[in-house]
Structure 1
């Protein structure tokens, strides 16, 4: 069953797979890993697969859930859906055939908006650029009841694709890959932000020209910019420091790029230092006024 969520930028979560493995510094204090351990102890059937202790943990081994894949087909009310809040859809353990089914469900339910966030930018870029992948997605969608001529387009107009960005190193790698990935809406989750990130003020990512850092300046017909930038600090007892200046700089960069900035929270370390009313620093009333920004992208 899909779950209602307290995540401010979505309405519901859908987890056709669960579990993951840490692959970069943003994963170090993974909230989902901690939650999976607790859910395993509570007997939740989805969280009985243990992962590698070096990269994962109890209840957080990658697992697919066939019964969960078709859940959105039964939802009548349109909604924003965060896909795999407890996993990474493009994890190496998720077979291509399973991804065909999941994307097929998304294609067969155009009334919903799906938000897919990944740290596996390379596999996401490779698969979504593969004509065979989109062919199989269409085939699966038709199997779920979508008429063959129901205005099929690729990329799917109701699927937003995003990458996680925790510092400048991963920004330079993942945003360039995202720009090379076909998507109706592209977004960044700069959360947990553990260092400053700049989008190279006034410049944009260009997937076809090889400029230092993946940026292309000046007039260019191939410029691709993120449509949406989510900004947040790290939450939890071991949260790493967060500087409000990092959020302010990203808001400025988003404005110059024509992207919509969304400040989700300022993190637990900031909340403790400033005696905030919310332990995650998630209440805008506690923030400096210039950071109280929560916008959504224009959609197709």
Structure 2
């Protein structure tokens, strides 16, 4: 079931699949895993499939929900939609045929903007660079009512693709994969941000220009930077520390790269240490003035 959300950078969540497995440091205190266990206890039908105890948990096994696929077709008002707040759309446990259908719904509803965030950068890159995948998406979109004469624009202009970046290690790996994936808008979710991340280190040396320590000022087709950077500390039990300087550095990098920075929250550890009025460190009035930044990308 789709729902309104308190996530500041979106308006609606849509979960055609649920469940996941931990694969990197950012997954340690996964809010969705904890929520799935609670929903299973409440008897929610979508959360009765248990995952691997080592990497997942109760109610958090990968599950595909065909009954939820059609929900966006019923939404008349355009909205920003976070796809799979309770899963990772590019998890290997989600079959490609289901992805054809899910992307087909997004292709058939161009009035909505879909935000897809993944840690499975490799599968994302492979699928979305595959002409056969795009062909099947438009075939499914026709099933959902998209006119066959409609322009077949790939990448789909209403889909924004993002990767999770919790530290420099994963910045170097996932941003490169994102840059190699066709997308109308690319974004980073640096939440929870667990250490300093600088964008200039996340890209290979420019083959055309020499720019040690900074951004290339010339036309560089091989250097693709993100359009949007979401920044946030960790919240909840077991939250790990967050340094405001990490956010300040990313804001500076975003400005240099022409990206829109969006600081979501400063996290529970920072909130406790600074007497913030919100336990997640999410109220802008509590923050240093330089971090009170919430911008959205310009749609191409």
Instruction: Give the TM-score normalised by the residue count of structure 1.
Output: 0.95
2:136 maps to 1:140: no
Q: 1:43-82 to 2 correspondence within 5 Å?
A: 43-82=43-82
Contact 1:129/1:181, CA 8 A, preserved across alignment: yes
Aligned to 1:256: 256
Q: 1:204-243 to 2 correspondence within 5 Å?
A: 217=216, 219-222=218-221, 223-243=223-243
Aligned to 2:32: 32
Distance 1:171 1:164 in 2: 8
- The list of structure 1 runs, each at least 4 consecutive aligned residues, that deviate by more than 3 angstroms after superposition, is 203-209, 215-218
Aligned to 2:13: 13
Distance 2:206 2:139 in 1: 29
Aligned to 1:103: 103
Aligned positions, number: 297
2:164 maps to 1:177: no
Contact 1:176/1:207, CA 8 A, preserved across alignment: no
- CA deviations 1:20-40 (Å, max 9, x no partner) are 000000000000000000010
Post-superposition shift, 1:247?
0.2
Aligned to 2:271: 271
Contact 2:175/2:203, CA 8 A, preserved across alignment: no
Contact 2:200/2:215, CA 8 A, preserved across alignment: no
Contact 2:105/2:144, CA 8 A, preserved across alignment: yes
Contact 2:17/2:62, CA 8 A, preserved across alignment: yes
For the residue of structure 1 that corresponds to 2:199, the secondary structure is: coil
2:85 maps to 1:85: yes
Aligned to 1:4: 4
Distance 1:285 1:268 in 2: 16
Distance 1:254 1:188 in 2: 11
- CA deviations 1:101-129 (Å, max 9, x no partner) are 00000000000000000000000000000
Distance 1:265 1:217 in 2: 30
Contact 1:228/1:260, CA 8 A, preserved across alignment: yes
Post-superposition shift, 1:221?
3.4
For the residue of structure 2 that corresponds to 1:200, the secondary structure is: helix
Contact 1:80/1:115, CA 8 A, preserved across alignment: yes
1:242 and 1:70, CA in 2 relative to 1: closer, same or farther beyond 3 A? Answer: same
Aligned to 2:199: 199
**Any gaps of 5 or more consecutive residues in structure 1?**
none
Post-superposition shift, 1:100?
0.2
Q: Cα RMSD over matched residues?
A: 2.0
Distance 2:98 2:13 in 1: 18
Post-superposition shift, 1:152?
1.8
Post-superposition shift, 1:294?
0.1
Distance 1:94 1:269 in 2: 35
**Any gaps of 5 or more consecutive residues in structure 2?**
none
Distance 1:145 1:98 in 2: 18
Post-superposition shift, 1:219?
2.5
Instruction: Give the TM-score normalised by the residue count of structure 2.
Output: 0.95
Contact 2:172/2:203, CA 8 A, preserved across alignment: no
